[in-house]
Amino acid sequence: MSVTAVGVVHVIDLGDGDNRLTDDVLDEFHRLLDELEHGVGARALVTRGSGKVWSNGLDIEFMARHPSEMWRYLADVERLLARVIVLGVPTIAAITGHAFGAGAMLALCHDMSVMRSDRGYWCLPEVELGMDLSPGEHTLVAERLLPQTRNSALLTGRRFTAAEALAAGIVDETADEDRVVDRALEIATERAPTAASALEGLKRGMYGAVADALLHDADEALAEHRRTTGQ
């Protein structure tokens, strides 16, 4: 993961691998959100990838290797989702490749998304993995997806192409490979002058219940971490 500034826009590049939400990625993401919330430099955020994957979501291997850290790790993921969805600056997801699981949910937490038109899927594969979502994640998906889309995404694990995701209301635009990031930057730059106080208030009005549910999940996960580890 790397961070660059393009004018008034911070660009997070999740990388050219699986781009899972590792501890390092979460720490850097939270650090950058701290800067954005305190008005340090940038006035908008674009999140992109550099390879065939935008984000494959949870760091499953880490959780398998470090079961004692699972609840603490999941709390950090939920806290990231909660912060992004009500962040007081414009946020645009430049979905340059596959977005799966928690990666797909992170894309939903952005104000808008532009998805590469010729390659990549958006997918919530939990039903195929025998997993449920947390209450906060259910709240997020219910708020950000149309009912029929949510039914298909959650109960069948459907892999949406860019055209299908656009038709289903999952993403706002599609673009050719060489235009995805540029288009996201155009939108972010246009919206950067938005007053932070107004934007945050409007987002909290729309998605405050989602953020609260995700933060409640994070608190519950941290309590479980303390219970199981004694920390």
Region 31-42 average pLDDT: 79
Task: Check residue 35 and give its pLDDT.
Answer: 84
Is 90 exceeded by the pLDDT of residue 177? yes
Total tally of structural domains belonging to the chain: 1
Sequence-ordered alpha helix ranges (H) in 7-145 = 23-37, 60-65, 70-85, 102-108, 126-129, 135-144
Nearest CA to 197 among 39, 27, 19, 48? 39
In whole angstroms, give the CA distance from residue 1 to residue 106: 15
pTM above 0.85?
yes
Is 90 exceeded by the pLDDT of residue 190? yes
Q: Range with the lowest mean pLDDT among 29-43, 70-84, 109-123, 214-228?
A: 29-43
Region 196-203 average pLDDT: 89
The pLDDT tens digits for 49-94 are 999 999 999 999 999 999 999 999 999 999 999 999 999 999 999 9
Task: Check residue 41 and give its pLDDT.
Answer: 65
Region 182-187 average pLDDT: 97
Is 80 exceeded by the pLDDT of residue 207? yes
- Phi and psi (nearest 5°) for 195? -65, 125
Task: Check residue 148 and give its pLDDT.
Answer: 97
Is 80 exceeded by the pLDDT of residue 12? yes
Task: Check residue 19 and give its pLDDT.
Answer: 96
The pLDDT tens digits for 119-167 are 999 999 999 999 999 999 999 999 999 999 999 999 999 999 999 999 9
User: What is the span of the domain harbouring residue 45?
Assistant: 2-229
- The rounded Cα 80 to chain-centroid distance in angstroms is 8
Cα dihedral 81, 84, 86, 91 sign: negative
Task: Check residue 214 and give its pLDDT.
Answer: 98
In whole angstroms, give the CA distance from residue 214 to residue 10: 24
Specify the amino acid at residue 14.
L
Average pLDDT, the chain: 94
Query: Helix or strand or coil: residue 203?
Result: helix
Specify the amino acid at residue 216.
H
Nearest CA to 185 among 31, 41, 36, 4? 4
Task: Check residue 196 and give its pLDDT.
Answer: 78
Region 206-225 average pLDDT: 97
CATH code of 105's domain: 3.90.226.10
